Amino acid sequence: MKKYNPYQNMISILEDSAKMLGLQEDEYSFLKYPEREIKVSLPIRMDDGSVKHFEGFRVQHCSICGPYKGGIRYHQSVDLDEVKALSAWMSFKCAVADIPFGGAKGGIKVDPSQLSQKELERLTRKYITMIEPVIGPHVDIPAPDVNTNAQIMAWMMDTYSHIQGYRTGAVITGKPVELGGSLGRAEATGRGVMIIACRMMDHLGRSYQDTRVAIQGFGNVGGIAAKLLYEQGCKIVAVSDVSGGLYCANGLKIDEIRAFLGDHPGKMLEDYHKEGVKHISNDQLICCDTDFLIPAALENQITAENAEKIQAKVIVEGANGPTTVEADSILQDKGIIAVPDILANAGGVVVSYFEWVQNLQSYYWSLDEVNTRLKDVMDAAFDRVFESAEKYDTSLRKGAYILAIGKIVEAQKKLGLFP
């Protein structure tokens, strides 16, 4: 399969959108170059006594609108170009959501399923020790991403706090609630995806009950989006994880599937069997007969190779960068609406922002308050992106980029170029 470079993907949309906005190269070129890129070596003592070396990254893309913000992923395919693209998308996402952060991203090239908990903890603590000089509650605030979770955030926050000599909660978001994490943070990205998908259904005048949804990825984003859309009454016809997918034209029982996985730790969707439920591949899921498609796994899932065969009418990007540039223009030609990642999956970083605010104030909100505020922020972002797309007579993706780039470039002009 062709190797896509997500950084080139990002640059290409950036260039197009900046041109539509009428910007000169000098005015926006800074967005093509991350402010700081860090690569760290992580030698780890494995449980069998041997030493293994891992590679870690932290890329700080832009701090014009506030401290750097963005998650850390643990995945075998992590590399510098991927982290650079992801860091830029964080800058744009925070601008679209209108929260006072810049963008960053981090990652370790590792398959965490191959490590014991103790090895994972040592790797995490080593990584934070190595990037400690460039993070902090007012500098750069990491959070969870693919294959990282609240437990890993707890080790990160603890390691940073030990180095400072005092508890520093606000340096990491997505922490366990017992350690200052926000209520609702774990569900926030999936909840944001649900809010945006429902807004699209409202916009198109579709009832939730008559809308069929296929979701790629059944983790923190896809699994939660599936649960919440199912609760809204949508017909979830297909879901998948790395093991493969399930399809049922009449709608899957998402509560049963989630209960099955919850009751059988280590089992995957391929282990779920039920009459009327067909087992399908991830590629079949992308092209299945559905109204809405929600890619909520990794980048580059919708490509020039499969875009032609997509049957969905609307794509809501739960993952970061799931659609390649070539695929995006095929979708547009086919009249398929793509709701871009920098809007659709912003729920996670929005509640990260709430968590950071709560930590700085040591004053904590109820779940209801978090969810109400999240809905307000997502709704406002949705409206702004629609307005921008309409104003420039373009796609929602370009509309979102134009909005984000316009905001950051304006802020940059007010700051001026130092020195």
Active site residues: 105
Q: What is the spatial distance between Cα 169 and Cα 137, in angstroms, rounded to a whole number?
A: 8
Which of 240, 320, 371, 388 is close enough to bind ligand GLU by CB under 6 A?
320
Q: What is the spatial distance between Cα 258 and Cα 4, in angstroms, rounded to a whole number?
A: 33
- In which residue are the tokens 């399923």 written? 113
Which of 119, 140, 145, 158 is close enough to bind ligand GLU by CB under 6 A?
145
Region of 4-12, 106-114, 278-286, 346-354 interacting with ligand GLU (CB under 6 A): 346-354
Cβ proximity to ligand GLU, 131 vs 349, nearer residue: 349
Told to check if 193 binds ligand GLU by CB under 6 A, we report no
Q: Quick one: angle between helices 347-361 and 188-204, nearest 10?
A: 130
Cβ proximity to ligand GLU, 175 vs 212, nearer residue: 175
Q: What is the DSSP letter of 136?
A: B
Told to check if 359 binds ligand GLU by CB under 6 A, we report no
Cβ proximity to ligand GLU, 239 vs 351, nearer residue: 351
Q: What angle do CA 162, 167, 169 make, to 5 degrees?
A: 115
User: CB under 8 Å to 295, separation ≥6 — which residues?
Assistant: 216, 217, 286, 301, 302, 315, 317, 318, 319, 322, 323
Cβ proximity to ligand GLU, 17 vs 320, nearer residue: 320
Told to check if 358 binds ligand GLU by CB under 6 A, we report no
- In 15-171, the DSSP E strands lie at 36-45, 51-62, 68-75, 103-109, 140-144
Cβ proximity to ligand GLU, 280 vs 351, nearer residue: 351
Which of 106, 112, 223, 348 is close enough to bind ligand GLU by CB under 6 A?
348
User: CB under 8 Å to 349, separation ≥6 — which residues?
Assistant: 69, 70, 90, 93, 94, 97, 99, 101, 143
Nearest residue (beta carbon) to ligand GLU: 71
Region of 63-71, 286-294, 297-305, 406-414 interacting with ligand GLU (CB under 6 A): 63-71
Q: Is 284 helix (H, G, I), strand (E, B) or coil?
A: helix
Query: By the criterion CB under 6 A, which residues form the site for ligand GLU?
Result: 69-71, 93, 143, 145, 173, 320, 345, 348-349, 352
